Amino acid sequence: MCDMGVNTPISSTATPGAMPNTPIELPSYEELLKENEILCRALDRLERERSAAVDGAAECEISLLKLRDADMNIISPIERSMQNGSAAVKLEEDIAGLKQKCSDLRDENLELKLSVAPVIHPRELVNVSGLVAGGVPSVSDESSRVTIFADSHGKKMVNLVSRRINCKVSGTIKPGAGFDHVTGGYIKECKNMTDRDMVVLMGGTNDMNNFNTKKLLSAIKKLLPNLMHVNVILMNIPKRYDLPFSSNIHYQIQRTNFEIARICNRFKNVKLLDVYNLGRRFYTAHGLHLNFIGKRVISDVIERAFVELYKEASPPIAVNNGYGAEEEITVITTGRPFLENSQPTEEDHI
């Protein structure tokens, strides 16, 4: 009889030709799911905060109306106007702050959705950002370099470009600076670069605040001859949605962009990144800076221009991204018929 209480050892001798008794390890997705669960919770929290901020803004507007319509006969007209005025100013400041917070939360929501989308909803990437996923293959050339010189429009641009291009991406970002100050360190940064490298220039908006168009154009004319050994992408001046349509600065930007295009046309290694017709949806609530999606679109264009470096022919690059012709971003190779249709007309000035 066999003793059931004794564990009979099993022989570990393997039969010749049989598979080894080794457990098969299946790929584990626990860490990936845990990470995306954290992102989902953060996304829910941000959406709740945005909803609360919107409700707070609505309550402030209601309170403002009540203060204006309240019966305050017991107070003298002068004192009543002073109290109403100070309360109205404070409430308007609170409303403006809440609206800005809503805009910031909206950008964070989009960034989180883009991080979570590939695992949770594969099509959400297109629905949220409008970018066509898989449109351009990832570029890999670790021997090349991309250097970005930018004002505040270049924030987060280094990270966005480095995710799409497998090479060394660096940047000098100087918010609030003029073009000459933004590009002040180009000698040190670009000294050892070659024709397989790329320099991206994003500046000039702050020069327009003081109408320093001559200074801006002079800085560009001085800079480009010193960068003839590398490939250059020069972004023109974006539209100002933070100013009324009657502002004279819109006309100045159009004229300056026309002159920038003429300068770029003299250099074979320079491409013009035309972002003037980029729509309002790509800007923050304030209207001056590009939002996260606007910067994603520009990083996509930079990647496409980088791909063109390794092709024999470099035709003009037009990136529609599904937004319509009026919001098309173009990178135009110099030496092609761009200037004949670029001069502002009287209708553009109105």
Pairing status of strand 198-202 against strand 231-235: parallel
Report field, pTM of the whole predicted structure over 0.85: no
Query: pLDDT of 126-177, one tens digit each?
Result: 222 333 333 334 455 567 889 999 999 888 898 888 888 888 899 899 998 9
Q: Can you give the pLDDT at residue 221?
A: 93
DSSP per-residue letters across 62-121: HHHHHHHHS--TTS-HHHHHHHHHHHHHHHHHHHHHHHHHHHHHHHHHHHHHHHHHHHH-
Question: What residues contact 160, with CB distance under 8 A and at least 6 apart?
Answer: 295, 296, 299
Where are the domains positioned within the chain?
A: 29-112, 119-127+138-313
Question: What residues contact 159, with CB distance under 8 A and at least 6 apart?
Answer: none
Question: Which residue type does 259 have?
Answer: E
How far is C-alpha 174 from the geometric centre of its chain's CA atoms?
16
Among residues 97, 96, 71, the alpha carbon closest in space to that of 84 is found at 71
Q: Can you give the pLDDT at residue 238?
A: 93
Helix, strand or coil for residue 206? helix
Percent of the chain scoring above 70 in pLDDT: 60
Query: According to CATH, what is the number of the domain 119-127+138-313?
Result: 3.40.50.1110
Mean pLDDT of 267-295: 89
